[in-house]
Amino acid sequence: MNWRVWDEVETILCEQEILPILAVVPNNQDDALRVSAPDKQFWVRVREWQKRGWTIGMHGWRHRFVTPDGGILKVNRFSEFAGLSRAEQQYKLGQGCEIFAREELACNVFIAPAHSFDATTLQVLAGLGFRYISDGFFPVPVIDRFGITWVPQQLWSYRWRPFGVWTICFHVNSWTEADIAAFKDHTLRYREAISSFNTVIEQSHARRQTASDVIAGRVYRATIQLAALGKAKARRLIASSPGKALAQRGKDLLPASADTTLVSENTPESFPTHNS
């Protein structure tokens, strides 16, 4: 976790009285995500966040990708869970729950590393008592056939939307001072539209997932993937073009792509629920 950045982000959230969702890895074994030295008071801090009314989501178990399976959403081509047997997934998720229980944390919200999980994951989660998933590209919360409510997570930066429930995923480890300033500015701008996870659950009246929801989610995902492909091609064109000024101008005109860096242990990632 980049604690210097997180401390500034946490201050902004507190000043604006925002109740985010924080994705916490119970037992991180991903060396690439160990940015700062671990905080020996980490679990004390997590319990304090929970006391404030912040939602703590279990973000996998070790954050180690062991299969090339994109799972149900197919956002990425790797997973900690998708494609594994029920017994393997039961063990991993059970271990994560034991750590949360030991640290006196609620264990009913799941946030999958790499957005990757399958039907077996959902079955196991339901059996372990999970009631919510922060993921999916639906415009509103839906309930799947296992009885789990999906609160959709479709954005990686602030965007205006005319209707629906929109959750924004922020990965803060690589943020610069400019990124922090932009986050503060946009949070102030959209403050009246930002809700909390619990409020969304109470007021959204989630309904059973339908075939139309699945189709709408796939269309939205395809749109995101096409946009990302277009931006990648544009960057390659810029990189091959002569002239620094042209490259800089092209870079400035391109929207920021979704940050795919994932959460580390001792690392909360904030997901303000943006309820338009």
Rounded CA-CA distance 231/256 in Å is: 9
- Of all residues in the chain, the percent with pLDDT exceeding 70 is 81
pTM of the model: 0.82
pLDDT band at 240 (very low <50, low <70, confident <90, very high): very low
**Which pLDDT value is given to residue 54?**
98
Q: Which of 268, 276, 219 is nearest to 13 (CA)?
A: 268
pLDDT band for position 273 (cuts 50, 70, 90): low
Distance CA 61, CA 132 (A): 17
Q: Where are the domains of the chain?
A: 3-208+259-275
Is domain 3-208+259-275 annotated with CATH 1.10.286?
no
Q: What is the pLDDT of residues 73-82, one digit of tens each?
A: 999 999 999 9
Q: How far, in Å, CA of 59 to CA of 216, rounded?
A: 25
Residue 37: DSSP 8-state = P
For residue 1, pLDDT beyond 80: yes
Whether 37 has a pLDDT exceeding 50, the answer reads yes
Encode pLDDT of 191-239 as tens digits.
999 999 999 999 988 888 887 777 777 787 777 667 666 655 555 544 4
| Of the listed ranges 103-112, 152-161, 256-265, the one predicted with least confidence | 256-265
Model pLDDT, residue 182: 97
The better pLDDT of the pair 108, 268 is held by 108
Q: Which amino acid is at 213?
A: D
Cα angle 28-82-65, degrees, rounded to a multiple of 5: 35
Tokens of 28: 């991180």
Residue 94 has pLDDT above 60, yes or no: yes
Cβ–Cβ < 8 Å for 130, 107: yes
Q: What is the mean pLDDT of residues 56-60?
A: 98
Parallel, antiparallel, or unpaired: how do β-strands 109-110 and 142-143 relate? Answer: unpaired
User: From CA 46, how far away is CA 176, in angstroms rounded?
Assistant: 24
| Cα–Cα distance for residue pair 236/36, rounded to 1 Å | 32
Work out whether strand 273-275 and strand 194-195 pair parallel, antiparallel, or are unpaired: antiparallel
Q: Which of 17-26, 83-92, 204-213, 244-253 has the lowest mean pLDDT?
A: 244-253
Give bridge partners of residue 165 from the DSSP assignment: 275
How far is CA 240 from its chain centroid?
Answer: 34
Yes or no: say if 135 and 111 are a contact pair by the CB < 8 Å rule.
yes
**DSSP helix/strand/coil, 253:** helix
C-alpha to C-alpha distance for 142 and 118, rounded to whole angstroms = 17
pLDDT at res. 220? 76
